[in-house]
Structures are given as C-alpha cells and as structure tokens.
Amino acid sequence: EEEEEAWAAMLVCSDGEGGVRCESRVGLPGNPILGEGKPENQNVALPFCHGERVQMVDMNQEGYWEEALKMRPLLQEFESSAKAGPVTVIGFPEHIFTQSSGFVTAIFIGLQERYFGSFVQRVLDEPLDVRLHYGHPDLLDKLHFATRGGVSKASKEINLSEDIFSGYKTVLAGGCVVFREYHLVGKGRPTNLMEITGFFAKLSSGSAASLTTRDVARFAASAPLVKLFSYYYSAIAFYVHDVIVMHVTVLIPYLLAMLALVGLDHRFNNYEAQPLSLFALLPLLLSLMTAVPALCMVL
C-alpha cells in the first residue's frame, strides 16, 4: 500500500554551512493553504512564535533603532490600560519612507496613510472606541488569539481583508484595542498610480465582503447605536460615500443642461437675487459631504 502524504509546518534555520536544518516541527492534518495565502501562513507560523506577544510586520516594513527602545513601554500597555477589558491589540502609526521619493503619487499615498494611520485611528480609539485590527504593524496578545483560531481568518473571497477579523474576534470575546502614537514602524507604499488603485480596490472589496460574515452580524447585534454608527462610517460607509460623490459629480452637468433645455435655469441662477446660485451651491454641498465627516473624525 502507498503511504499517505504527510504534512507538517517546520521551523528551519541555517546550519552554518550553506544549508538549512529543522528546528521544530508541527504535524498538520493536510494541506494548510486552503484559503487566502497570507492569513494561512500567519496562523501556521503562530505556534513557532516565542513569548506571549506577537507583532504583525509585513515584508515591506522596516524598524528603526530609536523606535526599538520604545518597545518595552509599549508592551507594558497590555497591563496598564484604562480600558474596561483586557488589552489584546495595540496599534501605532507607520512612517511611509517612500514619500520622500519625489513622485506625486508617493506623496499622495504618504499623506493618505498619515491621515488614516494617525488622525482617524486616534479618534477611532478615543472617544469612539471602534478601532479594530488593520494588520501591520500591530502588537497582539499571542495567547489570546492562539486559543481563538489564530490571528487571521483565511476563507477565500469572504475574508479578503483578513486582518480586520482579528478585531471582530477579540471585541466579541471581550478584548480591547488601543492605539498609541509614541511608537512607529517604517513602511514602503506603492508609488505607481495603477498599484495604488488596485490596493484601494482590494480594500473596498474586502470591506464589502466582510458585511456578509457572521462576525459583522454578531458585532452589529451587540454594539450600541452610537458605536454602530461610528463603525459604519469607519468601514463600508467610507466607500459608499465615495461612490455617491463620484455619481453626483457626473450628475451635476447633466442636471444643469436639463434645466437649461426646459428653460428653468433662470429660476435657480438669479445672480442678482441669489449670490449663491445653483452652480456654486451643488459643488459646495458636495464638498461639505466629504469634508465635514472627515473633520469630525480628526477634530
């Protein structure tokens, strides 16, 4: 009889002679890569991590010596937070070092990351208390997540934004997420416009797919109304709002042309009686739709 194929996760290191040797091995029931590759690899590697905390760092990130000196007080945040429950995720900002490359798109993505990675998450933490886990470079309580199915969820398509499900998981289990700005990690972002567009398309698709999961349904059923509205704007509503803005921007010229064809444009554009005419009012309202929620998040 043919022997059945055996699967195992292995921790390997250099043997000092140009080869590799196995440090430890964990048996697996089968091929571990059933869903999305990144979260599957994270969960398979979790048993080999030493200690009680684990940091989620991407391959396009780097550390700084002076920031490494802050790791000790950052780890202490797990024990000294004023949150109601145990702290299981600690988030902090990123420094986009590709912003200095000089490309306009690199400057744009650097400013965008500064806005979301610092200003918005600061407000999501306090006072809204709806910050979840957005992947790198957060610190996680390894023991908490190892007993709850891992640090990510990996089902195909439905868990496209795999990191945020750790946030849902820990909040539903009574854990707390905090955000601290005295520590940061360097990160490289794409500088090509098509890559940036693809990245945001992935985020929006993952946000839409997450709405069909049981995690979001349980979170929505247990959250108070104010917290639910805060979560809604920080998640899918951001992309819904962008779609509305784009469609209204295209609709304005057609609306003005239609008013001119039927002879009603003078009723809306009496410059002598109305200093703020329809031509100025609609773009102004459109700008306020974008600016007011964002300013509320920051201020």
Q: Answer for the pair 70, 137: CB distance below 8 angstroms, yes or no.
A: no
- Across the chain, mean pLDDT equals 78
pLDDT for 166: 83
Q: Which of 49, 33, 51 is nearest to 41 (CA)?
A: 33
Q: Which of 174, 160, 154, 187 is nearest to 59 (CA)?
A: 187
Alpha helices in the chain (DSSP H): 37-45, 65-68, 71-80, 104-114, 121-125, 142-146, 164-172, 193-210, 214-222, 225-234, 236-261, 265-268, 278-298
Question: Quick check: 297 pLDDT over 60?
Answer: no
pLDDT for 290: 65
Length of the chain: 299
Structure tokens at 101: 């490359």
For the segment 184-203, the average pLDDT, to the nearest whole number, is: 77
Question: Quick check: 144 pLDDT over 50?
Answer: yes
For the segment 168-193, the average pLDDT, to the nearest whole number, is: 82
Q: Which residue has the tokens 């886990």?
A: 133
Query: Could you write out the DSSP letters of every residue in 133-153?
Result: --STT-EEEHHHHHTTT-S--
Burial label for 157, CB within 10 Å (0-12, 13-18, 19+), is: exposed
Among 118-122, 224-228, 275-279, 287-291, top mean pLDDT goes to 224-228
Degrees to nearest 5, angle at CA 297 with 163 and 199: 40
Q: Answer for the pair 222, 172: CB distance below 8 angstroms, yes or no.
A: yes
Distance of CA 61 to the CA centre of its chain: 16
How far is the C-alpha of 175 from the C-alpha of 155, rounded, in Å?
23
Residue 47 — very low, low, confident or very high, per pLDDT cuts 50/70/90? confident
Between 239 and 292, name the one with better pLDDT.
239
How far is the C-alpha of 299 from the C-alpha of 296, rounded, in Å?
5
pLDDT for 265: 64
The 10s digit of each residue's pLDDT in 74-131 is 888 888 766 777 888 888 888 877 766 667 777 777 777 777 777 778 888 877 788 8
Q: Answer for the pair 148, 167: CB distance below 8 angstroms, yes or no.
A: no
Burial 253-283 (b: 16+ CB within 10 A, else e): eeebeebeeeeebeeebeeeeeeeebeeebe
Residue 268 — very low, low, confident or very high, per pLDDT cuts 50/70/90? low
pLDDT for 147: 84
pLDDT for 1: 46
Question: Quick check: 145 pLDDT over 70?
Answer: yes
For the segment 265-275, the average pLDDT, to the nearest whole number, is: 55
Q: Answer for the pair 137, 61: CB distance below 8 angstroms, yes or no.
A: yes
Query: Could you write out the DSSP letters of every residue in 104-118?
Result: HHHHHHHHHHHIIII
